[in-house]
Amino acid sequence: MTEPALAVEDLRLEIPTRRGIVHAVRGVSFSVQPGETFALVGESGSGKTMTCRAIVKLLHPPARITGGAVRFEGRDLLRLSERELEAVRGRGIAMVFQDPMTALNPVLTIERQIGEALTGGPADRSERRRRIVNLLRQVGIPDAERRLRAYPHQLSGGQRQRVMLAVVLARRPVVLLADEPTTALDVTIQAQILRLLASLQQQLGMALILVTHDLGVVRQVVHRVAVMYAGQIVETAPTAELFAHPRHPYTAGLIASVPSMNRDRPLVPISGAPPDLVGLGEGCAFAPRCPLAAAECRRGEIPLREVGPGRLSRCLKAEMVGAAVAV
Protein backbone atom coordinates (compact mmCIF):
# COMPACT_ATOMS: atom_id res chain seq x y z
CA MET A 1 0.00 0.00 0.00
CA THR A 2 1.33 3.38 -0.98
CA GLU A 3 1.79 6.34 1.29
CA PRO A 4 -1.59 7.96 1.97
CA ALA A 5 -2.13 11.41 0.48
CA LEU A 6 -3.65 12.56 3.76
CA ALA A 7 -3.97 10.95 7.16
CA VAL A 8 -6.00 12.23 10.09
CA GLU A 9 -5.03 10.82 13.48
CA ASP A 10 -7.25 11.00 16.54
CA LEU A 11 -8.59 14.46 15.80
CA ARG A 12 -10.38 16.14 18.67
CA LEU A 13 -12.28 19.36 18.52
CA GLU A 14 -14.46 21.20 20.98
CA ILE A 15 -16.59 24.32 20.98
CA PRO A 16 -17.13 26.17 24.26
CA THR A 17 -20.66 27.52 24.49
CA ARG A 18 -22.76 29.13 27.18
CA ARG A 19 -24.36 25.80 27.96
CA GLY A 20 -21.11 23.94 28.24
CA ILE A 21 -18.42 22.45 26.04
CA VAL A 22 -19.69 20.85 22.84
CA HIS A 23 -17.48 17.90 21.94
CA ALA A 24 -17.91 18.19 18.22
CA VAL A 25 -15.18 15.78 17.10
CA ARG A 26 -14.12 12.99 19.44
CA GLY A 27 -11.12 11.13 18.17
CA VAL A 28 -11.50 10.79 14.40
CA SER A 29 -8.89 8.91 12.38
CA PHE A 30 -8.79 7.99 8.71
CA SER A 31 -6.48 8.09 5.73
CA VAL A 32 -6.99 8.66 2.02
CA GLN A 33 -4.91 7.28 -0.83
CA PRO A 34 -4.01 9.33 -3.91
CA GLY A 35 -6.72 8.96 -6.54
CA GLU A 36 -9.23 7.62 -4.04
CA THR A 37 -12.63 9.10 -3.26
CA PHE A 38 -13.41 8.93 0.40
CA ALA A 39 -16.66 10.06 1.95
CA LEU A 40 -17.49 11.30 5.42
CA VAL A 41 -21.19 10.68 5.82
CA GLY A 42 -23.39 11.89 8.62
CA GLU A 43 -26.29 14.08 9.58
CA SER A 44 -26.07 17.52 11.13
CA GLY A 45 -24.19 17.44 14.39
CA SER A 46 -22.17 14.40 13.40
CA GLY A 47 -18.98 16.42 13.19
CA LYS A 48 -18.24 15.77 9.54
CA THR A 49 -18.03 19.42 8.47
CA MET A 50 -15.97 20.33 11.52
CA THR A 51 -13.53 17.55 10.74
CA CYS A 52 -13.19 18.77 7.19
CA ARG A 53 -12.52 22.33 8.22
CA ALA A 54 -10.14 21.26 10.92
CA ILE A 55 -7.93 19.62 8.33
CA VAL A 56 -7.05 23.01 6.92
CA LYS A 57 -7.66 24.79 10.21
CA LEU A 58 -10.46 26.91 8.81
CA LEU A 59 -12.43 27.03 12.00
CA HIS A 60 -14.56 29.80 13.40
CA PRO A 61 -13.61 30.71 16.94
CA PRO A 62 -14.48 29.67 19.59
CA ALA A 63 -14.14 26.23 18.03
CA ARG A 64 -10.73 24.83 18.79
CA ILE A 65 -8.72 21.74 18.07
CA THR A 66 -7.75 19.97 21.24
CA GLY A 67 -5.84 16.97 19.98
CA GLY A 68 -4.68 14.80 17.13
CA ALA A 69 -2.65 15.28 14.00
CA VAL A 70 -3.17 15.75 10.27
CA ARG A 71 -0.33 14.27 8.23
CA PHE A 72 0.23 15.68 4.79
CA GLU A 73 3.43 15.42 2.77
CA GLY A 74 5.36 14.33 5.82
CA ARG A 75 4.24 17.17 8.09
CA ASP A 76 1.61 17.60 10.75
CA LEU A 77 -0.61 20.42 9.50
CA LEU A 78 -1.94 21.17 12.96
CA ARG A 79 1.53 22.12 14.12
CA LEU A 80 2.26 24.52 11.30
CA SER A 81 2.20 28.26 11.67
CA GLU A 82 -0.48 30.22 9.88
CA ARG A 83 2.01 31.33 7.22
CA GLU A 84 3.16 27.82 6.49
CA LEU A 85 -0.43 26.68 6.42
CA GLU A 86 -1.36 29.33 3.89
CA ALA A 87 1.16 27.85 1.52
CA VAL A 88 -0.50 24.47 1.86
CA ARG A 89 -4.08 25.65 1.49
CA GLY A 90 -5.23 25.87 -2.07
CA ARG A 91 -2.09 24.36 -3.49
CA GLY A 92 -1.66 21.13 -1.62
CA ILE A 93 -5.11 20.84 -0.16
CA ALA A 94 -8.03 22.66 -1.73
CA MET A 95 -11.58 23.02 -0.48
CA VAL A 96 -14.90 23.39 -2.22
CA PHE A 97 -17.90 24.58 -0.25
CA GLN A 98 -21.61 24.05 -0.28
CA ASP A 99 -22.74 27.54 -1.11
CA PRO A 100 -20.86 28.77 -4.14
CA MET A 101 -22.32 32.25 -3.86
CA THR A 102 -20.62 33.04 -0.60
CA ALA A 103 -17.47 31.18 -1.53
CA LEU A 104 -16.85 33.28 -4.63
CA ASN A 105 -16.04 36.94 -4.29
CA PRO A 106 -19.09 38.79 -5.57
CA VAL A 107 -17.17 41.86 -6.70
CA LEU A 108 -14.54 40.16 -8.82
CA THR A 109 -15.05 38.79 -12.30
CA ILE A 110 -14.55 35.13 -12.99
CA GLU A 111 -11.42 35.82 -14.90
CA ARG A 112 -9.88 37.62 -11.94
CA GLN A 113 -10.79 34.93 -9.47
CA ILE A 114 -9.46 32.07 -11.49
CA GLY A 115 -6.49 34.15 -12.52
CA GLU A 116 -5.57 34.72 -8.90
CA ALA A 117 -5.38 31.01 -8.38
CA LEU A 118 -3.10 30.26 -11.31
CA THR A 119 0.28 29.26 -10.05
CA GLY A 120 3.44 30.79 -11.36
CA GLY A 121 3.52 30.62 -15.10
CA PRO A 122 3.81 33.40 -17.62
CA ALA A 123 2.78 36.88 -16.64
CA ASP A 124 1.59 37.30 -20.21
CA ARG A 125 -2.07 38.35 -20.15
CA SER A 126 -3.14 36.45 -23.20
CA GLU A 127 -1.44 33.28 -22.09
CA ARG A 128 -3.11 33.45 -18.72
CA ARG A 129 -6.41 34.08 -20.39
CA ARG A 130 -5.95 31.06 -22.58
CA ARG A 131 -5.31 28.91 -19.54
CA ILE A 132 -8.35 30.29 -17.77
CA VAL A 133 -10.59 29.61 -20.75
CA ASN A 134 -9.20 26.11 -20.84
CA LEU A 135 -10.03 25.56 -17.22
CA LEU A 136 -13.56 26.84 -17.76
CA ARG A 137 -13.99 24.46 -20.65
CA GLN A 138 -12.69 21.62 -18.52
CA VAL A 139 -15.35 22.28 -15.94
CA GLY A 140 -18.00 22.40 -18.59
CA ILE A 141 -18.88 26.08 -18.77
CA PRO A 142 -20.25 26.75 -22.22
CA ASP A 143 -19.18 29.86 -24.11
CA ALA A 144 -16.16 30.22 -21.86
CA GLU A 145 -14.67 33.28 -23.52
CA ARG A 146 -17.83 35.30 -23.10
CA ARG A 147 -18.11 34.33 -19.45
CA LEU A 148 -14.74 35.68 -18.46
CA ARG A 149 -16.02 39.09 -17.59
CA ALA A 150 -19.10 37.81 -15.78
CA TYR A 151 -19.65 38.26 -12.06
CA PRO A 152 -20.78 35.42 -9.81
CA HIS A 153 -24.31 36.72 -9.38
CA GLN A 154 -24.83 36.52 -13.12
CA LEU A 155 -24.31 32.79 -13.09
CA SER A 156 -26.58 30.02 -11.91
CA GLY A 157 -25.83 27.88 -8.88
CA GLY A 158 -24.48 25.03 -10.95
CA GLN A 159 -22.27 27.32 -12.97
CA ARG A 160 -20.88 28.95 -9.86
CA GLN A 161 -20.01 25.58 -8.50
CA ARG A 162 -18.18 24.81 -11.72
CA VAL A 163 -16.29 28.08 -11.46
CA MET A 164 -15.29 27.18 -7.95
CA LEU A 165 -13.99 23.89 -9.24
CA ALA A 166 -12.04 25.76 -11.90
CA VAL A 167 -10.49 27.96 -9.23
CA VAL A 168 -9.54 24.89 -7.30
CA LEU A 169 -8.13 23.08 -10.28
CA ALA A 170 -5.99 26.01 -11.30
CA ARG A 171 -3.77 24.98 -8.43
CA ARG A 172 -3.76 21.27 -9.20
CA PRO A 173 -4.13 20.24 -5.59
CA VAL A 174 -3.10 16.88 -4.21
CA VAL A 175 -6.16 16.59 -2.02
CA LEU A 176 -9.60 18.10 -2.59
CA LEU A 177 -11.99 18.55 0.29
CA ALA A 178 -15.56 18.94 -0.89
CA ASP A 179 -18.05 19.96 1.80
CA GLU A 180 -21.54 19.17 0.54
CA PRO A 181 -20.67 20.49 -2.92
CA THR A 182 -23.98 19.58 -4.51
CA THR A 183 -26.49 19.88 -1.70
CA ALA A 184 -27.73 23.30 -2.76
CA LEU A 185 -28.15 22.28 -6.40
CA ASP A 186 -30.99 20.74 -8.36
CA VAL A 187 -30.86 17.02 -8.91
CA THR A 188 -29.99 17.16 -12.60
CA ILE A 189 -27.27 19.72 -12.00
CA GLN A 190 -26.05 17.71 -9.05
CA ALA A 191 -25.57 14.72 -11.30
CA GLN A 192 -23.56 16.82 -13.73
CA ILE A 193 -21.30 18.20 -11.04
CA LEU A 194 -20.67 14.78 -9.60
CA ARG A 195 -19.74 13.42 -13.00
CA LEU A 196 -17.42 16.38 -13.42
CA LEU A 197 -15.77 15.78 -10.06
CA ALA A 198 -15.21 12.16 -10.88
CA SER A 199 -13.63 12.89 -14.25
CA LEU A 200 -11.43 15.68 -12.93
CA GLN A 201 -10.27 13.49 -10.14
CA GLN A 202 -9.27 10.81 -12.57
CA GLN A 203 -7.43 13.28 -14.77
CA LEU A 204 -5.44 14.78 -11.94
CA GLY A 205 -5.08 11.77 -9.68
CA MET A 206 -6.33 13.80 -6.74
CA ALA A 207 -7.52 12.33 -3.51
CA LEU A 208 -11.08 13.47 -2.94
CA ILE A 209 -12.66 13.72 0.49
CA LEU A 210 -16.38 14.22 0.12
CA VAL A 211 -18.46 15.35 3.05
CA THR A 212 -22.15 14.68 2.56
CA HIS A 213 -25.37 13.61 4.21
CA ASP A 214 -26.75 12.04 1.04
CA LEU A 215 -26.22 8.28 0.97
CA GLY A 216 -27.24 8.11 -2.65
CA VAL A 217 -24.38 10.37 -3.67
CA VAL A 218 -22.03 8.15 -1.74
CA ARG A 219 -23.24 5.09 -3.55
CA GLN A 220 -22.47 6.57 -6.93
CA VAL A 221 -19.06 8.15 -6.78
CA VAL A 222 -17.26 7.02 -3.64
CA HIS A 223 -14.74 4.22 -3.10
CA ARG A 224 -14.66 4.14 0.68
CA VAL A 225 -17.06 5.54 3.27
CA ALA A 226 -16.80 6.55 6.89
CA VAL A 227 -20.08 7.04 8.71
CA MET A 228 -20.00 9.59 11.51
CA TYR A 229 -22.28 9.95 14.49
CA ALA A 230 -21.99 12.30 17.46
CA GLY A 231 -18.44 13.29 16.66
CA GLN A 232 -17.01 9.85 16.03
CA ILE A 233 -16.56 7.51 13.12
CA VAL A 234 -18.84 4.56 13.75
CA GLU A 235 -18.16 2.54 10.61
CA THR A 236 -15.70 2.47 7.72
CA ALA A 237 -15.99 0.24 4.69
CA PRO A 238 -15.69 0.08 0.91
CA THR A 239 -18.90 1.50 -0.53
CA ALA A 240 -20.50 -1.57 -1.99
CA GLU A 241 -19.93 -3.57 1.14
CA LEU A 242 -21.29 -0.83 3.36
CA PHE A 243 -24.60 -0.90 1.54
CA ALA A 244 -24.74 -4.62 1.14
CA HIS A 245 -23.82 -5.46 4.73
CA PRO A 246 -23.74 -2.55 7.13
CA ARG A 247 -21.97 -3.36 10.35
CA HIS A 248 -23.32 -0.66 12.59
CA PRO A 249 -26.97 -0.15 13.59
CA TYR A 250 -26.79 3.55 12.76
CA THR A 251 -25.60 2.84 9.23
CA ALA A 252 -28.31 0.27 8.80
CA GLY A 253 -30.90 2.67 10.19
CA LEU A 254 -29.71 5.44 7.89
CA ILE A 255 -29.97 3.24 4.82
CA ALA A 256 -33.45 2.16 5.84
CA SER A 257 -34.47 5.79 6.34
CA VAL A 258 -33.91 6.80 2.77
CA PRO A 259 -37.07 6.48 0.71
CA SER A 260 -36.33 4.17 -2.15
CA MET A 261 -37.27 4.55 -5.77
CA ASN A 262 -36.96 1.09 -7.10
CA ARG A 263 -38.84 -1.12 -4.78
CA ASP A 264 -41.55 -0.68 -2.24
CA ARG A 265 -39.10 -1.03 0.57
CA PRO A 266 -40.75 0.27 3.71
CA LEU A 267 -39.36 3.40 5.24
CA VAL A 268 -38.11 2.59 8.70
CA PRO A 269 -37.20 5.75 10.58
CA ILE A 270 -34.68 5.71 13.39
CA SER A 271 -36.54 6.59 16.55
CA GLY A 272 -35.43 9.39 18.82
CA ALA A 273 -33.04 12.22 18.06
CA PRO A 274 -29.26 12.78 17.96
CA PRO A 275 -27.70 13.28 21.38
CA ASP A 276 -26.74 16.57 22.93
CA LEU A 277 -23.00 16.93 22.40
CA VAL A 278 -22.60 18.72 25.70
CA GLY A 279 -21.87 16.37 28.54
CA LEU A 280 -22.01 13.10 26.66
CA GLY A 281 -21.82 10.27 29.07
CA GLU A 282 -19.90 7.06 28.66
CA GLY A 283 -20.84 4.23 26.42
CA CYS A 284 -22.06 4.27 22.85
CA ALA A 285 -23.65 7.56 21.81
CA PHE A 286 -26.18 5.71 19.65
CA ALA A 287 -27.35 3.34 22.40
CA PRO A 288 -30.52 5.29 23.32
CA ARG A 289 -31.82 4.82 19.77
CA CYS A 290 -30.37 1.41 19.03
CA PRO A 291 -32.52 -1.69 18.65
CA LEU A 292 -29.54 -3.89 19.54
CA ALA A 293 -28.32 -1.97 22.58
CA ALA A 294 -27.35 -4.03 25.61
CA ALA A 295 -25.96 -3.25 29.04
CA GLU A 296 -22.33 -3.39 27.95
CA CYS A 297 -23.04 -0.83 25.22
CA ARG A 298 -23.66 1.86 27.78
CA ARG A 299 -20.41 1.44 29.69
CA GLY A 300 -16.95 2.66 28.97
CA GLU A 301 -15.38 3.57 25.66
CA ILE A 302 -16.46 1.61 22.62
CA PRO A 303 -13.44 1.12 20.39
CA LEU A 304 -13.34 1.09 16.60
CA ARG A 305 -12.44 -2.47 15.70
CA GLU A 306 -11.80 -4.45 12.60
CA VAL A 307 -14.79 -6.53 11.51
CA GLY A 308 -13.55 -7.63 8.13
CA PRO A 309 -10.83 -6.81 5.58
CA GLY A 310 -10.71 -3.04 5.32
CA ARG A 311 -13.80 -2.70 7.51
CA LEU A 312 -14.05 -1.03 10.89
CA SER A 313 -17.01 -0.73 13.22
CA ARG A 314 -17.60 0.91 16.56
CA CYS A 315 -20.26 -1.52 17.60
CA LEU A 316 -20.05 -4.35 20.07
CA LYS A 317 -22.85 -6.11 18.21
CA ALA A 318 -21.47 -5.54 14.72
CA GLU A 319 -21.93 -9.13 13.65
CA MET A 320 -25.62 -9.01 14.42
CA VAL A 321 -26.31 -5.98 12.27
CA GLY A 322 -26.24 -7.49 8.81
CA ALA A 323 -29.29 -9.60 9.57
CA ALA A 324 -31.42 -6.66 10.66
CA VAL A 325 -31.66 -4.90 7.33
CA ALA A 326 -32.45 -6.37 3.95
CA VAL A 327 -31.25 -4.00 1.26
Collapsing DSSP to helix, strand or coil, 97 comes out as: coil
Separation between Cα atoms, residue 48 and residue 84, nearest integer Å:
25
Looking at residues 6 to 45 of the shown chain, list those that interact with another protein (rule: CB under 8 A): 43-44
Stretch 240-279: interaction string toward another protein, x if CB under 8 A = ---x---------xxxxxxxxxxx---xxxxx-xx-----
Q: How many residues of this chain bind another protein (CB under 8 A)? A: 44
Residue number with CB closer to another protein (66 or 260): 260
Looking at residues 52 to 111 of the shown chain, list those that interact with another protein (rule: CB under 8 A): none
Is the peptide bond preceding residue 62 cis, with omega within 30 degrees of 0? yes
Burial of 123 (C-beta count, 10 Å sphere; 0-12/13-18/19+): exposed
Stretch 128-167: interaction string toward another protein, x if CB under 8 A = ------------x-x-------------x-xx--------
Closest approach of another protein to the CB of residue 140, in Å: 8
* Distance, first Cα to last Cα, the chain: 32
Burial of 310 (C-beta count, 10 Å sphere; 0-12/13-18/19+): exposed
Closest CA to 173 of 164, 182, 160, 181: 164
Residue number with CB closer to another protein (186 or 296): 186
Interstrand relation of 305-308 and 20-32 (parallel, antiparallel or unpaired): unpaired
Residue number with CB closer to another protein (46 or 51): 46
Residue number with CB closer to another protein (49 or 159): 159
Residue number with CB closer to another protein (88 or 315): 315
Separation between Cα atoms, residue 255 and residue 243, nearest integer Å:
8
List of residues contacting another protein (CB under 8 A) = 43-44, 140, 142, 156, 158-159, 186-192, 194-195, 213-220, 243, 253-263, 267-271, 273-274, 327
